[in-house]
């Protein structure tokens, strides 16, 4: 049971993180439409990893994609073995991105040397980022359910295709052994060995004159 739950989480968690990061980037682009102003805000709040050719966001998304492929393969293999995965609860898709975004903002400002990182709750980017987490969380939830169902159905179809010829051969073997040939009927004269002989009618006696 633990492996089935891990497979479902491994499929869903990368989607949560990816959706949260996309909402994170869009929040700063929304609040600071000017690229120059946005650059200064990103550098001052510890978001330098989002800037330039050396940004870490593509690397993070690549790692998440690899984890997603592993999770999908795990779910597929579990479906072939007929061990259904327990789904990730819906509340996780709503609460975990919100908690992750808040913790990420706090750590980024703290690592950037901000003496009061908790004041990030007053920043407009934080409020917009929280609001953007909700639609992305819904989209991620629907996508995770779709991928989980597709991997499960693919595994079931493969298992059915593998078992169908095997079960067909077993059924023919069973019929061949369960239905022995009927012995031939031996006929003696005009009477069958399985039916009683026909009775002859008594002949009348000749009268003497």
Give the lowest-confidence range in 29-38, 89-98, 126-135, 150-159.
150-159
The residues with which 180 forms a beta bridge, in sequence order, are none
CA dihedral over 94, 99, 102, 107, signed as positive or negative = negative
Residue 171 reports pLDDT greater than 80: no
Give me the residue spans of the domains in the chain: 2-163
pLDDT of residue 142: 86
pLDDT of residue 74: 57
Q: Mean pLDDT over residues 24-53, rounded?
A: 83
CA dihedral over 144, 146, 148, 150, signed as positive or negative = negative
Rounded Cα distance, 189 and 209, in Å = 39
Of residues 54 and 64, more confidently modeled: 64
b/e code 132-153 from CB counts within 10 Å (16+ = b):
bbeebbeebbeebeebbeebbe
The residues with which 109 forms a beta bridge, in sequence order, are none
b/e code 42-67 from CB counts within 10 Å (16+ = b):
beebbbbebeeeeeeeeeeeeebeeb
Residue 193 reports pLDDT greater than 70: no
pLDDT of residue 174: 46
C-beta atoms surrounding 75 within 10 Å: 25
Confidence of residue 172 (pLDDT cuts 50, 70, 90): very low
pLDDT of residue 31: 92
């Amino acid at each position: 049971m633990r492996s089935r739950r891990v497979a479902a989480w491994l499929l869903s968690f990368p989607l949560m993180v990816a959706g949260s990061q996309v909402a994170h980037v869009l929040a700063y682009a929304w609040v600071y439409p000017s690229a120059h102003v946005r650059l200064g805000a990103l550098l001052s709040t510890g978001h330098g990893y989002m800037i330039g050719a050396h940004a870490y966001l593509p690397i993070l998304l690549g790692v998440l994609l690899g984890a997603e492929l592993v999770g999908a393969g795990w779910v597929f293999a579990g479906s072939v073995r007929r061990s259904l995965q327990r789904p990730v609860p819906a509340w996780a898709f709503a609460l975990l991105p919100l908690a992750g975004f808040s913790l990420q903002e706090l750590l980024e400002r703290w690592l950037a040397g901000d003496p009061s990182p908790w004041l990030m709750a007053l920043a407009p980017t934080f409020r917009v980022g929280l609001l953007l987490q909700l639609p992305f969380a819904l989209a991620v939830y629907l996508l995770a359910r779709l991928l989980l169902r597709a991997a499960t159905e693919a595994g079931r179809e493969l298992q059915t295709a593998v078992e169908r010829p095997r079960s067909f051969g077993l059924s023919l073997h069973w019929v061949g052994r369960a239905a022995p040939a009927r012995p031939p009927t031996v006929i003696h004269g005009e009477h069958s060995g399985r039916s009683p002989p026909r009775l002859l009618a008594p002949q009348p006696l000749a009268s003497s004159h």
